[in-house]
Amino acid sequence: MQLFWRNGYETTSMQMLEQEMGINKFSIYSSFGNKHSLFLESLKCYKNNVNEMFETFKNASNGVASIKQFFYDSVEANFKDNSIKGCLVTNTYNEFSEREDELIKVQMDAFMANLKAIIIEKLKTDPTKDEATILQQANFLLLAKHGLAAAARVNSKQEIEDYIEMTFKNI
């Protein structure tokens, strides 16, 4: 997962995986089938990794403010242990955007739909927002999150945090 996260699917070779995982190619193949399946498994693993953050987000009691907190938590996770890798889902979304890989796309869309649902739920706690505004802001935030994750690969933590502040001025 770490390798795919950092380098993407295509750039990560079986040789690199062999070295990083500390086991032989054959062992990888007998455990995971092939590279593609291993990648899908990595996505699942990533999902589990961020699941805690998602749960915290979902169970937060401070309504709309929790969205911003979630953004901050994501940035914090991305910049942990000096590994600037962005978000594996966003990276994958970008790398596979021009490919025909339904299995990957289904995973990605499910992930995004899940996040969107939580965001909408949080926005709904604000009684001053009508439904149209909520949908519009949810789309905006989802896109902002995507952009933020992409930008987190090349920008500093401070820049990203400034960006979050700006982003939430109208929410």
What own/partner pairs with CB < 8 Å and gap ≥ 24 does 56-63 have? 57/118, 57/122, 58/118, 58/121, 60/122, 63/122, 63/125, 63/126
Question: Which one of 28-36, 71-79, 122-130, 142-150 is the stretch in contact with DNA (CB under 7 A)?
Answer: 28-36
Site string for a second copy, 41-80 (x = CB under 8 A): ----------------------------------------
Q: How far is the CB of 30 from a second copy (least distance, A)?
A: 28
Interacting residue with a second copy among 15, 61, 98, 127 (CB under 8 A): 98
15 binding DNA? (CB under 7 A) = yes
169 binding a second copy? (CB under 8 A) = yes
For residue 32, give both structure tokens: 């995971």
Mapped onto helix, strand or coil, the DSSP state of residue 112 is helix
Question: Which residues contribute to the site for DNA (CB under 7 A)?
Answer: 12-16, 23-27, 29-30, 34-36
